[in-house]
Structure formats: C-alpha cells, structure tokens
C-alpha cells in the first residue's frame, strides 16, 4: 500500500538547465559563512580523497539515473560560499558546492535550495557537519546524506515515507532511491528522454537498427555526434561507419561523457560479421572511452556500440569517429550560464509583519522544513538533516510556533506586529540555525539551540560542555 502512495514533496524550484548541473568540492579554507571549510581535512583523515569523492559521485548518479538531468563534477576555486556570481554555470565553481564546517551537534548536513528560491550562487550548496562521525557503508553513511542533500539541491523537499531518501531525518543507510524519490524528481525534471536516435519512432538499440553515420563525415574525415543519451541502465546504442577512400589504415572511436554527464562510457567496435574488433571502457564517472582499430581499408563497414560500463549507468554522451590525421576536438558542454536573479519566497521580515496567508504559507513551508537556513553570515532558503534523537527546535520554541500558527488559523485579519507573530519569527529563525557555537561572533544566536538540541537528544549537559570538533 505504502509503495503506491506518492508522498514526496518538492520545493517548487529547479535549475534552469537540467541538461548540465555541475558540482564541486570546495578546497579547505573556503569561507562558509565566515568559517573555513575543512571538507578535505575531515574526510581525508578517514578515506583517500578518491574514495570519499566517489561516494558523492555515486550519490549524484542515482538522481541522474532516473531524471532528465545530467550532473558533472567541475573544479572549485575556493571563492567564499555565497560570493557574487552566476546562479548557474559560474566558471569558478560548481552549481552545487560541497563543503564541511562544524555545525550544531546532531546536524548531519544542510543544503540551500536551488533557483529561484535562492537566486544567486549559494543556491544548491551543501554544508556537511565536520564534527559528526562519517563512514562509508555504516552510520553516518556519506552517500546516504549526499543523496539526501543533492535531492534538496535539485529541488526535492521531504517525503512522508520513512524509507525514502528524502525523509526528513536520517533513520538508516539509504543508498538507492525509493520509488517515492523517483516520482518526486521526475515531477520536477521529467524522466530521462531518449536522444534523437531513440525517440519519435527512431531506434538504434540493436545492431540490426544500427544508424549509419557515413553522412556525418566532414571534409577532415571526422564524425561528431553530440546530444546522445543512454536513457536507461543497460541500454546499448548501435551505429555503422564505412571506411572512406581517404584514410590512414586505422580509425579511432571515442565515447565522451567528460564535461557532459556522469555516464561511465564504454565503446565497442565489431566488423560487419559482428566479430569483435576492440573495446574500451572507463570506470570513472564522466569520462571518455577511446579505442583505435588498426588494419582497415576503404569500403569496410564496422558496427560501433555505445553503452555504460557501470557506475554512471545513464547520461549524456557524444560519439566521435576519426578516419583522418587531425586530432578530434572534444565536444563542448552545453550553455548553462544564468545570471543571478532575485530570490523568491518570503523572508523573515515579511513573515513577522505578515498576513494570515503569509503565516499559513510559512507554516506549510515549516512542515516541509523549507525555511531560512542560517550558517554563519549566510542566510537563505534551505534545509538541515538531523541525526536520530535530535529535534529541530526546543519545546518552548515549538509551542511559540504552534501558538502563532493557531492564532493565524483563527484570525480573520492580519496579525502583523503582534507578539505572536514576533515569537513566530523568532522561533523560525532559531529553528534552522546550524552554525557552530564555538566560533567567534555566533555564540549569542546559536548557544540557545545548541543546548536545546543536546538536551532533547538525551545528552547530559556535562558531556555537552566537553564536546569539541574532531579535528585530526
């Protein structure tokens, strides 16, 4: 029964260009609301860089596998989180940036919502709590948290289903999407779409439907087919080429996902009798597989088969064939640059002075845990993921919130400037304050909730006083 219910929620926000959403790992020292990130220091102490980054790659790939988005890892220049720049496609860093600083104990990570809820580069950025005990394939599982936070960064809100990745609390390892998560992300971006060779009645899924690329050959004796797509895991796409009269006795074939998607590409060449001539594959997300077939002569025909080799099981790719001597130029990524725009959605000031409808809208937002997320001097729409046993606000703040919400529902007129509205605003601002309490300048705003979280989570006050960031 539960499996058939659709209990996901979405933020009403999404990236303009789902065709290429980039992500990056911020270098240590990058300012996260005034606190330097220690993502590498924290995770390198536990696992080699390539190992922990692969958990994030795999987390991104589970979303790419089921929705009409391509995700691509890019470099990061260490600009402060929230620095001015492009909303999407900023050349300095990923659209989604992963970082880690000490957050309030019990918080695993936090994510800022995507455009247009946040109109600038902060949209989609993810901050992990560097003081929590991170693991791979054990609690707290990096991939589980990464899937959840990337879900937010793509526009997912929380699900009512406790087994969904987008459930609002960490309850267990969840390394694959629940059907509810799949339904949710598809409601935002749609399912993966077949490329021009596999849509509108076209198909090249089998060798007998192989598409001839002979008409695509340029005067330089090269073929480039961009905008290809492995839509479903296990899908194979078949092409056919004939060796032209001008050739060098060999030809080269490339399946490129580098800069295009997380697909791990594989390309195989067969002769006209389906005899295997060569195979190349990658084990890396978003890579290029290339092979050269020697000993060919004019007029011979060859099948080319493209598919995934595991890991990134779906995604965009480009196919290139070179019969000549001029090196191939890799296919450039699609244009995705979007300037910063105004953030949408009411802020706290609007709320405190707001009308009944504003409060009701905000109440719904609170139920979705879609609120102002404060990390140091950063404040924007977002969400924080908590470990088991940790609540989002104190009983006192919850009761203030409930009183304001009840007042809003009972009132027939605006409740602007009432004590309840002010209390409501105060509760809201505390609710998602996840800054470290032990860094300068933040003691006043974070101390309260930090103690509250510790108390609610069953931690003794005495032990709270002893806890420190686990830096190594």
Which residues contact Zn ion by CB under 5 A?
383, 385
Q: Which is nearer to Zn ion, 54 or 370 (CB)?
A: 370
**What is the closest distance, in whole angstroms, from the C-beta atom of residue 76 to Zn ion in the complex?**
23
Residue, CB closest to Zn ion: 383
Please tell me the distance from the alpha carbon of residue 292 to that of residue 277, in angstroms, as a whole number.
9
Comparing C-alpha atoms, which of 165, 244, 172, 180 is closest to residue 4? 180
Radius of gyration of the chain (CA): 25
Q: Which is nearer to Zn ion, 181 or 383 (CB)?
A: 383
Structural contact between residues 230 and 314, judged by C-beta atoms closer than 8 angstroms = yes
Please tell me the distance from the alpha carbon of residue 152 to that of residue 141, in angstroms, as a whole number.
17
Q: Which is nearer to Zn ion, 97 or 432 (CB)?
A: 432
Q: Which is nearer to Zn ion, 253 or 385 (CB)?
A: 385
**What is the closest distance, in whole angstroms, from the C-beta atom of residue 434 to Zn ion in the complex?**
12
Comparing C-alpha atoms, which of 416, 370, 338 is closest to residue 88? 338
Please tell me the distance from the alpha carbon of residue 126 to that of residue 273, in angstroms, as a whole number.
51
**What is the closest distance, in whole angstroms, from the C-beta atom of residue 110 to Zn ion in the complex?**
8
Please tell me the distance from the alpha carbon of residue 348 to that of residue 428, in angstroms, as a whole number.
8
In 322-368, where does DSSP find H-type helix? 348-352, 356-367
Rounding to the nearest 10 degrees, give the CA dihedral for residues 177, 181, 182, 188. -140
**What is the closest distance, in whole angstroms, from the C-beta atom of residue 152 to Zn ion in the complex?**
6
**What is the closest distance, in whole angstroms, from the C-beta atom of residue 433 to Zn ion in the complex?**
16
| Alpha carbon separation from 116 to 12, 88, 120, 134, 273 (Å, rounded) | 8, 11, 9, 31, 54
Q: Which is nearer to Zn ion, 122 or 385 (CB)?
A: 385
Q: Which is nearer to Zn ion, 167 or 285 (CB)?
A: 167
Please tell me the distance from the alpha carbon of residue 120 to that of residue 373, in angstroms, as a whole number.
15
Helix (H) / strand (E) containing 266:
strand 265-271
**What is the closest distance, in whole angstroms, from the C-beta atom of residue 170 to Zn ion in the complex?**
9
Q: Which is nearer to Zn ion, 385 or 434 (CB)?
A: 385
Helices and strands per DSSP (H, E), number in the chain: 10, 20
**What is the closest distance, in whole angstroms, from the C-beta atom of residue 442 to Zn ion in the complex?**
22
**What is the closest distance, in whole angstroms, from the C-beta atom of residue 55 to Zn ion in the complex?**
18
Q: Which is nearer to Zn ion, 160 or 227 (CB)?
A: 160
């Amino acid at each position: 029964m539960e499996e058939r219910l659709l209990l996901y929620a979405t933020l009403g926000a999404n990236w303009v260009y789902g065709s290429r959403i980039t992500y990056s790992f911020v270098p240590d020292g990058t300012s996260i609301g005034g606190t330097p990130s220690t993502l590498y220091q924290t995770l390198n102490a536990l696992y080699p860089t390539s190992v922990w980054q692969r958990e994030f790659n795999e987390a991104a790939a589970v979303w790419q596998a089921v929705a009409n988005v391509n995700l691509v890892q890019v470099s990061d220049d260490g600009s402060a989180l929230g620095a001015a720049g492009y909303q999407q496609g900023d050349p300095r860093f990923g659209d989604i940036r992963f970082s880690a600083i000490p957050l309030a104990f019990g918080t695993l990570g936090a994510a800022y919502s995507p455009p247009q809820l946040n109109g600038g580069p902060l949209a989609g950025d993810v901050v992990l709590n560097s003081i929590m005990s991170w693991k791979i394939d054990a609690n707290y599982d990096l991939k589980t948290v990464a899937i959840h936070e990337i879900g937010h960064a793509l526009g997912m809100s929380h699900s009512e289903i406790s087994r969904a990745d987008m459930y609002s609390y960490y309850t267990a390892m969840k390394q694959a999407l629940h059907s509810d998560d799949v339904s949710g992300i598809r409601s935002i971006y749609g399912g993966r779409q077949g490329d021009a060779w596999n849509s509108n009645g076209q198909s090249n899924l089998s060798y007998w439907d192989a598409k001839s690329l002979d008409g695509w050959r340029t005067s330089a004796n090269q073929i480039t087919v961009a905008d290809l797509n492995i839509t479903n895991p296990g899908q194979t796409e078949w092409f056919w080429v004939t060796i032209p009269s001008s050739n060098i006795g060999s030809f080269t074939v490339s399946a490129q996902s580098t800069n295009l998607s997380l697909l791990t590409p594989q390309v195989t060449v067969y002769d006209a009798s389906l005899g295997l001539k060569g195979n190349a594959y990658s084990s890396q997300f978003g890579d290029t597989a290339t092979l050269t077939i020697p000993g060919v002569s004019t007029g011979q025909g060859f099948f080319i088969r493209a598919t995934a080799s595991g890991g990134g099981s779906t995604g965009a790719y480009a196919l290139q064939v070179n019969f000549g001597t001029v090196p191939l130029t890799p296919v450039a990524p699609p244009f995705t640059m979007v300037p910063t725009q105004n953030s949408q959605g009411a802020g706290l000031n609007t709320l405190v002075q707001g009308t009944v409808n504003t409060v009701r809208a905000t109440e719904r937002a609170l139920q979705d845990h879609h609120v102002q997320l404060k990390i140091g001097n950063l404040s924007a729409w977002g969400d924080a993921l908590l470990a088991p046993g940790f609540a989002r606000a104190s009983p006192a703040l919850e009761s203030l919130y409930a009183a304001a919400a009840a007042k809003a529902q009972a009132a027939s007129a605006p409740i602007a400037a009432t004590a309840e509205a002010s209390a409501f605003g105060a509760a809201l601002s505390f609710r998602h304050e996840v800054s470290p309490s032990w860094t300068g300048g933040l003691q006043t705003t974070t101390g309260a909730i930090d103690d509250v979280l510790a108390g609610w989570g069953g931690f003794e006050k005495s032990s709270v006083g002893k806890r420190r960031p686990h830096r190594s």
